[in-house]
Structure formats: structure tokens, C-alpha cells
Amino acid sequence: MNRHHPILVIGGTGKTGRRVAAKLAAAGHVVRATSRSGPFVFDWNDPAGWAAILQGVQAAYVTYQPDLAVPGSEAAIAAFTKQAAVAGIRHLVLLSGRGEPEAAACEAIVQGSGLHWTILRANWFMQNFSETFFVEGIRAGELALPAVDIPEPFIDADDIADVAVAALTDIGHTGQVYELSGPRALTFAEAVAEIAAATGREIRFSPVPIDAFAEGLRAYGLPEDMIALVRYLFTTVLDGRNSETRDGVLRALGRAPRDFADYAQGAAGVWAPALRAAQG
Ligand SMILES: NC(=O)c1ccc[n+]([C@@H]2O[C@H](COP(=O)([O-])OP(=O)(O)OC[C@H]3O[C@@H](n4cnc5c(N)ncnc54)[C@H](OP(=O)(O)O)[C@@H]3O)[C@@H](O)[C@H]2O)c1
């Protein structure tokens, strides 16, 4: 490991990517954190642009968009691993999702690339509630989702980032598949109750039939392929297959993953002002 050779972080402004980039930089590593707009540009839809950003890179944290389960992901990951090998990258750390056969096919491509690899196979992120998909519902006091009563052991993006940094900087994690869950499985209703407790506010969870939810997304203007992805995630992936907790964080870092209640306490400031304004 040479601290002066850059480590590439694809999706470097995303929920895990920006944490990985910040932790690497704090540890003194040179980081190329990408997004589709500068200063370091990487777009999965523009393979012609990849060679420049890969130059001189020693290791890469690879997050695919929008999800390894979508059509085209295998071809993209295959093309990327080829270019990475040509560029002389030694180690790929792939962020994958638990319980997705299509993601497993992409993992197999990385595992067969001839490069050093580590796979991080994650449950749903806690930060979906505070940084992206669910944040506006929580702020409005009602989260309406097509989620049945299936418990999910949500994982903190900071724990994923800690494992990614370890894998990118310590050769000892080569060849490991880490299944990364939080310490406790919660239904969406229970997760919302934890956030209500952390904010001291009322927040409702309202289950919605999947077809009605999809229709709402369509009316909102979401493209059909993204609606199909949402449907897949809330029906096929959220069917109980990922409800058991996993010990990947403990195996990789020698410590327990963060609990949802601690996450909700830490993120309460994201939701509380809007809830206070609405509820008085
Ligand atoms: N969220 C979850 O619960 C969860 C669970 C398990 C696995 N995963 C996996 O984690 C990965 C990242 O998801 P996330 O929710 O953390 O993402 P996110 O927070 O939405 O961040 C996406 C990142 O990727 C960049 N990006 C967007 N489109 C891109 C493209 N076409 N090419 C290159 N970069 C692009 C974004 O920057 P710009 O938009 O500025 O380009 C941003 O840096 C996905 O592969 C997902 O399947 C997510």
C-alpha cells in the first residue's frame, strides 16, 4: 500500500462513497472521489471516459448505479474490471446487495477478474431514512411505503465505509465476502417508531399496496425502469430472505455494527425541525 497512489471511490458523493472518501483522506490517502460532475468524473454510461480516471490508481471502491440488479450491470462490471486490469489497479472493493442473484453475478465477474477483490454485500442502509429515499416522508410525519411486515437488519453507511476503508488499505481483507447487516432486524413500522422516539415527534408508517405505490411513482414522473427496480426491491428482495443478521462488520473490524436507535439519535436533527414546524 502506497499512500501516494490514488484510491478511486466511484459514487464518491453518495451515502457510502463520500464516507469512504472522507475516511481515506483523514487517514492520509490520496483519493479520487468521483461523480458525474467534476472534479473527478466517472459515469457508468460512458465507458470511453473511464481510462483517464483509472490512470495511476492502486485500488477502487466500486458502487454501481442505480443497482447491480438492473439489466446491463453485468456488462458494465465486466467492461470496468477489464479496464481496471489494463490500468494496473490491484484491488477492487465492490459494494453489492444481499439477496440479489443479479448482484451475485456481478460479484462473480469481479471475483474472476484476476485482481485482488473484496465483496461488501449489504442490507438496506439506515441512511435511506435520513439522506435519500425516505427522508421527505419522515419529515412530513408520514412514511408511506409498499413494505410488508418483513424485518430488515438495516446497516449504518458508516459501518459499510469503515469496512470498505479497511479492505482498501489492508491486504488481509483480500478474497473476503463480508455480509453487512445491522445488529437487529426491524420492520419499517418499527424503524419509524425508533425515529419518532429519537425526535420526540409523531411519525406514522402507512403501508401501501405495491401497485398503488408504483402508480404514484409513475404520476410523479419516475421512469419505468426505476419503477421496476423499486417493485423488485420491495417485493422480491424484501421477502424475508435478508432478515437474519450477519456478522460481516464483526469479522472485518472486530467490533459490533451500530444499532438503529443510535443512528436515529445521531440523525434526529435531520428530521426534527421539519416535524416541529408541522406539528407545533
Ligand atoms: N441504499 C441501500 O439501501 C442499498 C443497499 C444495498 C446496496 N446498495 C447499493 O449501493 C449502491 C449505491 O447506492 P446509494 O443508495 O448509496 O447511492 P447514492 O447515495 O444515491 O449515491 C450515488 C452516487 O453515485 C453517483 N452516480 C449516480 N449515477 C451515476 C452513474 N450513472 N455513474 C456513476 N456514478 C453515478 C452519484 O453522484 P452523481 O449523481 O453526482 O453522479 C453519487 O455519488 C448501489 O449499487 C446500490 O445498489 C444500496
Q: What is the pLDDT of residues 114-140, one digit of tens each?
A: 999 999 999 999 999 999 999 999 999
Q: What pLDDT was estimated at residue 259?
A: 98
In this structure, whether the domain defined by 7-124+155-181+244-257 belongs to CATH 3.40.50.720 is answered with yes
Is pLDDT at 248 greater than 80 in this prediction? yes
Residue minimizing CA distance to atom 40 of ligand 1: 35
- What pLDDT is stored for residue 148 in this prediction? 78
Find the residues whose C-beta lies inside 6 A of ligand 1.
11-17, 35-37, 42-45, 63-65, 67-68, 95, 97, 122, 124-125, 128, 132
Tell me the pLDDT of the chain averaged across its residues.
96
Confidence of residue 109 (pLDDT cuts 50, 70, 90): very high
Answer for the pair 159, 258: CB distance below 8 angstroms, yes or no. Answer: yes
**pLDDT for 249 beyond 80:** yes
Task: Please tell me the predicted confidence (pLDDT) of residue 147.
Answer: 77
Residue 107 confidence (pLDDT) above 80: yes
Of the candidates 54, 15, 270, the one whose C-alpha atom is nearest the C-alpha of residue 155 is 15
Closest-lying ligand 1 atom to the alpha carbon of residue 67:
47
Q: Which atom of ligand 1 approaches the CA of 13 most closely?
A: 43
Buried b (16+ CB within 10 A) or exposed e, 245-256: bbebbeebeeee
Report residue 150's pLDDT band, with 50, 70 and 90 as the boundaries: very high
pLDDT at 185 over 90: yes
Residue 53 near residue 84, CB atoms below 8 Å: no
